[in-house]
Amino acid sequence: MPISPANRSFQRWCKIMSSAPDERMVRIAELEIHSADLDHYRAYLEEEIAASVEREPGVLMLHAVADRADPTKIRILEVYANREAYETHITTPHFLKYKLGTADMVKSLRLVDVDPIILAAK
């Protein structure tokens, strides 16, 4: 029985997540967005994340959440196979479109590199 593209993608993801965890690059991006721009920012973000996960094998996970009490505060958990995958990611057309398109919407940005203790998903 042939393996579906979704299963193939999942198998690749499992292999990357389980091999050489010390090479993974994990970061939390902490953003604050101007409230008037929030809907436009979220549209750019959704497009960028969808393209990154679909097109870039080294982008393992991008999870974006908003603070329930203040939705202008966005947090993004970023997991890359390694530093090289991150460096490739920030030069892609979809990422550059996002960065340029949202530059004036972002009130503040803080990038926090972290060490994963455990990353699990169901």
Sorted by where each begins, the domain ranges of the chain are 22-113
Alpha-carbon span 45 to 4, nearest angstrom: 28
Q: pTM (2 decimals)?
A: 0.83
| Other Cβ atoms closer than 10 A to 65 | 11
Architecture of domain 22-113: 2-Layer Sandwich (3.30)
Per-residue pLDDT of 85-100, as tens digits, reads 999 999 999 999 999 9
Q: How large is the average pLDDT for residues 1-11?
A: 64
Strand partners, 55: none
